[in-house]
A and B are shown apart, each in its own frame.
Chain A
């Protein structure tokens, strides 16, 4: 690692904005120290709040369930809060998985349609889908609240999933369309010659080819749904159907306006853990999602 950094690392004197990539002759380790210290400190700023919360959720703290000694007192408080953490976890998991399922299914079929077929209204539909990005969240949630009430999906996790799926469609459709377009058409044609219809071409030939795109779309749908706050805040009123972010935010003020910081820390840990794990495992797909977003510009 040292050898690699020495060859192409920059030192602190190059940190001003003009710091263009420039390879320099290897220099003494001591001269590169300022760079390591500076960047290490920067990295620490980004990691420290996460580490601190993780440690603090187990540490002794007056005014919390874990007043003395180290332990899981805060997590016990969290587990017994109102409907119980398991209920909120189950709500969040159900809502997130349904959103992932819907988003992946719709954008898979839609991306296939846009990349491989010509049909009237194609461009209008594509533009209408992208236009979702232009409209503020709140502008749509107010009429959606009324509409969902009318069709009996008020206060329902399914309703929240439908709404979150809709908000994911611009990115997901775009991602799947470029995924399909990057697969050579010769592949479909060969399968057609072998007697496949469009459905079996999709399943047997194309789905394996666009799998990375599907993983990216699914990952983003999960992270968005798991973390979303506004949609459940507006659409869910029943405490038993709240999602985890909502429950943790409400849990802060328990009795007589006293904030249970310990239980909040535990809640943040439980909220963040799946996201950080998924990020570390699927970092490549995560980065690619942003990259495709950047290509749009």
Chain B
């Protein structure tokens, strides 16, 4: 029989080369996905601004974080762990209690913090408030469409968001003193 023209190239070292590269990428890889709480800042106020519309006091849920990380909600002391329930009650009041909101659409959460407040507690509060809205949206989604909010389609999500718009307002920082 006739012999083939070219001898086969030895591919034995191919695995070694590939392993070397593999180990390099294994070592340099950082797999962690960046996650976080997404927020949108309000634009800077313009020079001549008309007076903001009056908002009824009952539609504002005042959350203050003091310099020692103590929480004052509607002028009463509250623990961070209770904030979620408190915010849910406030948002979903629908005019039942005279001190709480008229409707979820009108409810506004006002968040103020002192400049000595720690970032950690601030994130916790932001998280609890977001959780309150997420839970309400989930409940509404389950009632209306029989599915959780995350698994709805775009239009359905929009509808639920309209029912529970997330309105968290942060106070304009003062120049020197901040909130007491």
A and B physically associate: no
Identify the B interface with A (CB < 8 A): none
Identify the A interface with B (CB < 8 A): none
